[in-house]
Amino acid sequence: MNRELFGQPYDGRNPNWVVLAYLDRMYNDGKFIEAIESISDGVGLSVDGAYCHFPFMDSFYDDDRFEGVKFIYGYSVDGDDDEVIVSLDVCLSLINVACAKYIKNHPEDERVVKEVFDKTSERLGDANGM
């Protein structure tokens, strides 16, 4: 069975490849649904080498204050990992594509994935003023 939804190699010209790599990692680790639920809660889920963060505007650190959702991918010891901050709209759009791919591979989980996506869509849409 394919252990990735999008597959490598990622196109480095696509600024959102880091998000795709994150979603692939969650899928490979068996944490895809949990990751989407965490994103819908505005928390994010991270594992070694793949990270998802939401802003913390009251932080003393500039890196914690941003608009959107931050994804980081890599294991670099010098902190030079690949990172991207995407808008809530872009995040939701990429999650939608990933959920469709997930359902194609796991039709038995269709109901659960659709419920989680609907919750995510509602919450991220509300957070975006939609």
pLDDT on residue 110: 96
Buried b (16+ CB within 10 A) or exposed e, 107-127: eeeeeebeebbeebbebbeee
On the question of pLDDT at 129 being above 50, the answer is no
What's the CA gap between 10 and 21, in Å, rounded? 8
* pLDDT, tens only, 32-70: 999 999 999 999 999 999 999 999 999 999 999 999 999
Q: How far apart are the first and last CA of the chain?
A: 38
Whole-number pLDDT of residue 77: 62
Per cent of the chain over pLDDT 90 is 78
DSSP code string of the chain: ----SS-SSP-TTSTTHHHHHHHHHHHHTT-HHHHHHHHHTT----BTTEEEE---TT-SSGGG--SSEEEEE---TTS--EEEEE-HHHHHHHHHHHHHHHHHH-GGGHHHHHHHHHHHHHHHHHHTT-
Domain residue extents for the chain: 17-127
Query: Residue 123: its pLDDT value, please?
Result: 85
Question: Which whole number is the average pLDDT over 92-114?
Answer: 96
Confidence check: pLDDT of 127 > 60: no
Task: Tell whether the model's pLDDT for residue 102 goes beyond 70.
Answer: yes
